[in-house]
């Protein structure tokens, strides 16, 4: 596949209200967008760091993916997202090479990106997102 850069790093937090002041006040980054992704049962906050974003993820439903992650593992890095050309063909390539997919086809994520996830069981424990504009 054709990966150009790390598009974002997704970090699960208990509360955006508590997390944003750390990223702004201590790291000196600027939150440029807060967006709810109803489909994923999360509220997200974005910070730009060079070409890469930090995506903070707060759960809006304990039964959602981030709610479950927080309950099991607590706060911390949730996924790494790579920008790639052609998410569908990247998925096909990964599947051909024996990687387990979470998404068989791309869907819409935050910021209108086409996104799809590879299963952490096939990626040495790192939930891996592929995305494109
Ligand atoms: Zn993401």
46-104: per-residue pLDDT in tens? 999 999 999 999 999 999 999 999 999 999 999 999 999 999 999 999 999 999 999 99
Q: How far apart are the first and last CA of the chain?
A: 16
C-alpha 7 to ligand 1 mean position (Å)? 8
Please report the pLDDT score of residue 44 as a whole number.
96
In the prediction, which pLDDT does 25 show? Answer: 98
Cα of 25 vs centre of ligand 1, distance in Å, is: 23
**Residues forming a β-bridge with 27:** none
Predicted confidence at residue 112, as pLDDT, reads 85
Distance 72 CA to ligand 1 centre (A): 19
Distance 119 CA to ligand 1 centre (A): 14
User: Checking DSSP bridges between strand 52-59 and strand 42-49, what pairing results, if any?
Assistant: antiparallel
Domain 3-132 CATH assignment equals 3.40.50.10490: no
Q: Are the C-beta atoms of 54 and 46 separated by less than 8 Å?
A: yes
Q: What percent of the chain has pLDDT over 90?
A: 92
Sign of CA dihedral 80, 83, 85, 86: positive
Mean pLDDT, to the nearest integer, of 22-28? 98
Give mean pLDDT, residues 3-31: 98
The per-type count for the chain, helices as H runs and strands as E runs, is 3, 8
pLDDT computed for residue 109 by the predictor: 84
- Check whether 110 has a pLDDT greater than 90: no
């Amino acid at each position: 596949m054709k990966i150009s850069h790390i598009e974002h790093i997704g970090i699960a937090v208990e509360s955006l209200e508590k997390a944003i002041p750390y990223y702004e006040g201590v790291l000196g980054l600027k939150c440029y967008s807060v967006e709810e992704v109803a489909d994923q049962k999360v509220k997200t906050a974005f910070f730009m760091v060079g070409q890469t974003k930090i995506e903070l993820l707060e759960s809006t439903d304990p039964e959602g993916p981030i709610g479950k992650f927080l309950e099991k593992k607590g706060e911390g890095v949730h996924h790494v997202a790579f920008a790639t050309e052609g998410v569908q063909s990247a998925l096909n390539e990964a599947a051909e090479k024996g990687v387990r997919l979470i998404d068989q086809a791309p869907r819409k994520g935050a910021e209108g990106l086409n996104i799809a996830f590879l299963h952490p069981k096939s990626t040495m424990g790192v939930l891996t997102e592929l995305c494109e504009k």
